[in-house]
Amino acid sequence: MSLPDPLYNEIDAGNLESVRKNVVFDNLFVGTPFQAKLRRAGVWDPFLGGSAMVEGFVYGRVQGAAVAPGSTVTVTRQQLNTAMKFFPKAYVAWTPLDDWELDDGSGSGGVINSGPTMIVNQYQILMENMVQTINTMIEMDSFRHGQSKGTGIAENRILNSNGLSEALNNGVDPSWDGNYFTTYGSDTRNGAIGPALNSVPLFLGNADGSNGQIDFNALMRMWAQCTVTGGKPTLGITNTFGFVAVANALDSQRRDVNLKKHDINWESLDFNGVEIYADPLAPSYLASDFISLAPTGGKAGNNYLIDGAGMSTQTADFTSPTYTTYLPGTTTLGSATGSQVPSAVTIKAGEVLMFLEPESFKIRPTNKKGWNYGLRRNPMPNNVSMDALFMRLGTNLYNCQPRHNCQAYGFKA
């Protein structure tokens, strides 16, 4: 658009611009309940130092049997417990800082953005934006994985948090992102530790891989998968569009497990003790039509909500593994694990729902203030006013008891 000549007429030159002081509308970031609910559950566990985060767990039992009195038995020692290992991950947001324009609070800069003519403190906007950028990356990473590319894994995310698609898996069936993870916490699933770290993904689509519908029976199945292992799921996370599908499923039943009328509270849905929340950044096929999820990724972009690998949580089609057994009660080849994943078809992941036991998670930010949303300011050589500003966080998010949690995908809103 070309500018008028002169820039201001006599009316404009004699009046102040109409601006609401200290008000800037956020048209990029969105609210995210997942991390907030975990923190409220008390899973915030500062990382005090060391090369890794180690969590012990029991995976076996001692020998025992019904025997005749006086019998001789062979007594052998069997390993009962071991540990899993996770590593701290570094998240950084950065921006140039020109102290000709802005003041960082020291009073040494801000020739332009200062004084009574300052409508909005641009330095404050930078600080809030950097915090939101890091929180958004961590929120989105919490739904993905933190492993390198390999068997069953299509992309390298070794620098990212060990999130839910990795945790809620059984080493055989694909999670919502199309990957399956034969290891977790550096332990091999289905090896010496057996199924101790397994959570079976549940596919709610059709035998041809197309999207199905979530219903009351599917919700009960998810609840059962968590509780049969001793889990107590109290938190449900899904995208806003997944929330719509769950709300419609419950509304069509108008009942809970006690056959009482189901009254819907739109802040959350209460299903059998599981409070289900809508998270706009949770995996979804439809959400990218309405919020700025990166279509192809890239760390350099500034108009898209992206995770720590420059990608989004939009679900995409993938090909399921080739299985040699039949899905129970059908003539369709598929997984024998109860996941309902059909063999070697194009899977449409659609919307995703997770039933979670918050107490089984850990969020591990460092206790070192320089890497706990700490700032580092580096002068740019020979530049009279410009510095590089970095905000840094060392953390990880992982689950200590995957079998107490589950995921379901393949349904549509």
Region 371-394: mean pLDDT is 94
Give the confidence band of 260 by pLDDT, cuts at 50, 70, 90: very low
How confident is the prediction for the chain on average, in pLDDT? 90
Report the pLDDT value the prediction gives residue 31, as an integer from 0 to 100.
81
The band of 292, judged by pLDDT with boundaries at 50, 70 and 90, is confident
Enumerate the H helices of 30-121 as residue ranges: 33-40
**Mean pLDDT confidence for 124-135:** 92
- In 3-state terms, what secondary structure has residue 23? coil
Cβ-Cβ contacts under 8 Å for 146 (sequence gap 6 or more): 89, 157, 158, 159, 160, 161, 162, 163, 166, 396
Q: Is the pLDDT of residue 257 over 70?
A: no
* Tokens standing for residue 62: 């001692």
260 vs 233: which has the higher pLDDT: 233
* DSSP element (H, E) containing 13: helix 10-13
Is pLDDT above 80 for 12? Answer: no
Give the residue from 308, 293, 217, 224 showing the smallest Cα distance to 255. Answer: 217
Averaged pLDDT, 183-199: 96
Q: For residue 295, name the pLDDT band (cuts at 50, 70, 90).
A: low
User: Does the structure show a pLDDT above 70 at 265?
Assistant: no
Q: What is the mean pLDDT of residues 94-108?
A: 90
Residue 106 is predicted with a pLDDT of 86
Structural Rg of the chain based on CA atoms: 26
Tell me the average pLDDT across 202-224.
96
- What is the mean pLDDT of the segment spanning 329-340? 93
